[in-house]
Amino acid sequence: MDKLTIGNVQLESRLFVGTGKYGDDALIPKIIEKSGSQAITVALRRINFSNPNDNVLNHIPQGVQLLPNTSGARNAEEAVRIARLARAAGCGNWIKIEVISDNKYLLPDNFETIKATEILSEEGFVVLPYISPDLMVAKKLVEVGAAAVMPLGAPIGSNRGLKTKELIRILIEEIPLPVIVDAGIGKPSDACEAMEMGAAACLLNTAIATAGNPILMAEAFGQAVAAGRKAYLAGLGVSKIEAQASSPLTGFLYGEKE
């Protein structure tokens, strides 16, 4: 399958996974293996630098692209500080910007996200901002140097699917950057649908971590994302209101009379 390029990194898998909500972080290597994911996000506040034996990074295999996120940031200033700490701690220069001050729905603050993205992109970060899908916001993020845009499909952790589908479709059509659907995806079919629309990738955590069998669900999501991408590249058939037979309805059972 065609590769996804972000910054100077090429990824064969278009599924990004998270590290939260697992009962045991020891599951993470198996989740990565079965899903085929090559990129994983982790909140800096989950990294225990004082106790190397209790560090989520110990469970992330070598060669997987690390995507630290600024979870917990309430404004641009806090997000920038977290990003700088992540890079100084050896987590690389990729950063997912999350700026959330809404405690009920956990919706991102698009304005503060733009500010943080501009500052960090100028400092050489590969910035992937998490946003509520809005075309004007996405265009501004392109201007200030984002490497991709990550619109939510539904509120974080809700597993409700693509509730913002039409808004995401607009971003895919209008933005010259990878559009990575992030948050709210609950089923493999949701991820497949996002990829069929032309999304560059999907990022999810809760749908795998809270499944009855997380490892099997990770495999299902990996297959769904790959299938959706193949369908998009193949070109979906035209949707019609009226029926249209696949084969002629005349000239077989009812031939012309002699």
- Active site positions, annotated: 96
Axis-axis angle for helices 110-122, 135-143 (nearest 10): 10
Q: Is 220 left (phi over 0), alpha (psi -120 to 50) or beta?
A: alpha
| CA separation for the pair 98, 253 (Å, rounded) | 64
Cβ–Cβ under 8 Å, residues 71 and 98: yes
DSSP for the chain? -PPEEETTEEES--EEEE--S-S-GGGHHHHHHHH---EEEEEGGG--TT-GGG-GGGGSPTTPEEEEE-TT--SHHHHHHHHHHHHHTT--SEEEE-----TTT----HHHHHHHHHHHHHTT-EEEEEE---HHHHHHHHHTT-S-BEE-SSSTT-----TTHHHHHHHHHH-SS-BEEES---SHHHHHHHHHHT-SEEEESHHHHTSSSHHHHHHHHHHHHHHHHHHHHH-PPPP-SS---SS-SSSSSSPPP-
Axis-axis angle for helices 165-174, 188-197 (nearest 10): 30
